[in-house]
Amino acid sequence: MPTPALRRAWPACARGLTALALCAATALAQAVQVDLRPEQPGPVIARHIYGQFAEHLGTGIYEGLWVGPHSPIPNRRGWRIDVVDALKALKVPVVRWPGGCFADEYHWRDGIGPRDQRPVRVNTNWGGVAEPNAVGTHEFFDLVEQLGTEAYVNGNLGTGSAQEMSEWLEYMTSDGTGTLARQRRANGHEAPFRVHFFAVGNEAWGCGGNMKPDYYANLYRQAATFLKAPRGNRPVLVASGGNGEDLAWTEVLSREVKPNLMQAISHHRYTLPTDSWSKKGAAVGFPEAQWISTLVVPQKIDANLAKHREILDRNDPKKRIGFYFDEWGSWYDPEPGTNPGFLVQRNTLRDAVLAALHFHVFHKHAERVRMTNIAQMVNVLQAMVQTRQDRLVLTPTYHAFEMHVPFQDATFVPVVLQDNPAYARDGMEMPQLSASAARSADGRLVLSLVNANPRDALELDLRVGGQAARAVQGRVLTAAAMDAENGFDQPAQVLPRPIEARVRDGRLTLSVPAKSVVVLTVEP
Ligand code: AHR
């Protein structure tokens, strides 16, 4: 007997009029029903879910973004024009800086005043290279202004102190006549900087001090007490939370610290194809087993997030505390021939698909997940942009971010999927199609789709509220190979292209290619 989906898709099979072989062939491409339910809107998908992270690590800042005002590479007050302009198309909502592990060894006074008089330090976390401090507070806020974004400053709890953090915040935000505000003015910035988010330390469980959650919770409360800023310029205060599957930090922090001192808890979760830090897996030339082992991670994050939300709902029933995934993304073995401390890796179609699957999970949990920051913005880990001297390449991940701009500040719309086949391989399994929809801030119904199967296309039947959709416009990101990438010599291998749906028998059908990301505007 044909399956119900096959009967719907191919009435001739149902009536037994079509040769068995043809019916069997079409069974491979049975239509998945995708039904958007805009009449049941969910939470707003905060634009900060599409946030970025720029650490003093490798060429993530120096070379990749900052070349200095005297560089032959075209720059605006030291920041590369080509990179900044490329990033502007992503409507970057927030940038986290200066780390990462770097943050817990960063002393902000090293990065103010005349650049040629700033001390040179050793970046002990990342390659042991010289940190010239050419990029400091004023330069960072200039980047924030050039990008039209918001600032997420990560304070130093590891080798710093409550006093040092509170003075940094005063330096940045005070509009008074105190010495620190005057010093900022003397250094060229009359008006206070707008600090939207401020974190107390990073990865306190590891590079930030190898602490236990209870101990950190005490230090956090102490430091946060002194993080004062004028009304109208008070940052969201973020506590450094756990990692991976760990729930303990969320439990302790949400129980032990009140929302007046802590408005968000951060969490980190990287995706390693092998799940092993000693041999993570290659960025290119990987087997299909590592395609799927990478792409199943977001569904683990989904399950784990449900547990965090359960804890938060118990300890913070008024939902005042946000849950920030302020580091996420793929982490592969370093590119051969590069400094392993620089975390250089290639970026392929797999990364774009991985990013889109993360977006779907973050949208689903948008009620609590109010910020995320992919690691990292330029040249490091799962970067948007890669640079080599004066050249730049936009990675597949960049295109995934650009395609999803309409989801920033959109309202979540549930999607019901029927007859969605599984994609299974090497003992791992995930739904072949992942979908996430929203009502964009400008009123459009937008739909994001991922076909995780690297071999088989999927036929979709697109509906809105149970009725056939009228039309769609959109783009698809795919390529011939799982590890297709945009190289410096071939920068256009993985680019979004238009995709078209067909009207057939009163249905709107769309063929979603294997291994692809699709973003559509749907007309009901
Ligand atoms: O993003 C690279 C590093 O990963 C960050 O510095 C640290 O917080 C994490 O371990």
According to the model, what pLDDT value does residue 349 have?
98
Ligand 1 contact via 301 beta carbon (within 6 Å) = no
Clarify whether 310 is annotated catalytic: no
Confidence (pLDDT) at 23: 39
Do residue 180 and residue 294 come from a single domain? Answer: yes
Range of the domain at 307: 44-411
Residue by residue, DSSP assigns 30-87 as: PEEEEEE-TTS---EE-GGGGEEE--SSTTTTBTTTB--TT-SS-EETTEEHHHHHHH
pLDDT in tens, 188-227: 999 999 999 999 999 999 999 999 999 999 999 999 999 9
**Ligand 1 contacts CB of residue 327 (under 6 A):** yes
CATH of the domain at 204: 3.20.20.80
Looking at the DSSP assignment, which residues form a beta bridge with residue 519?
A: 448, 475
Considering the domain architecture, whether residues 378 and 273 belong to the same structural domain is answered as yes
What tens digit of pLDDT does each residue of 259-275 get?
A: 999 999 999 999 999 99
Q: For residue range 97-152, what is the model confidence (pLDDT) as tens digits?
A: 999 999 999 999 999 999 999 999 999 999 999 999 999 999 999 999 999 999 99
Residues 166 and 106 in one domain: yes
Are residues 417 and 291 part of one domain? no
Residue type, 272: L
Q: Whose CA is nearest to atom 1 of ligand 1?
A: 375
Tell me what pLDDT residue 504 has: 87
pLDDT at 308: 98
Q: For residue 265, what are its two tokens?
A: 């808890």
The Cα 371–Cα 323 span in angstroms is: 7
- The confidence score (pLDDT) of residue 12 equals 36
Both 449 and 307 in one domain: the answer is no
Quick: pLDDT tens for 152-199.
999 999 999 999 999 999 999 999 999 999 999 999 999 999 999 999
Give the closest residue (by CA) to ligand 1 atom 6. Answer: 100
Q: How many whole angstroms separate alpha carbon 460 and alpha carbon 468?
A: 11
Is pTM beyond 0.85? Reply is: yes
Q: 100 C-alpha to center of ligand 1: Å?
A: 5
Cβ atoms of 391 and 85 within 8 Å: the answer is no
Tokens 């605006």, located at residue:
76
Report d(CA 323, CA 239) in Å as an integer: 10
Q: Pick the last residue of a domain from 360, 377, 411.
A: 411
Same domain for 36 and 57, yes or no, is: no
**Is the CB of residue 55 below 6 angstroms from any atom belonging to ligand 1?**
yes
**Which segments within 148-244 are labelled E, that is strand?**
150-155, 197-200, 236-239
**Which distant-in-sequence residues (6+ apart) come within 8 Å of 363 by Cβ?**
45, 49, 407, 412, 436, 438
* 69 and 3 part of one domain: no
pLDDT at 38 over 50: yes
Token representation of residue 78: 């030291």
| SS3 of residue 159 by DSSP | coil
For the segment 331-340, what is each residue's pLDDT rounded down to a tens digit? Answer: 999 999 999 9
Q: Say if strands 94-97 and 51-53 run parallel, antiparallel, or are unpaired.
A: parallel
Whether residues 289 and 299 share a domain: the answer is yes
Residues 60 and 82 in one domain: yes
Q: Are 178 and 198 in the same domain?
A: yes
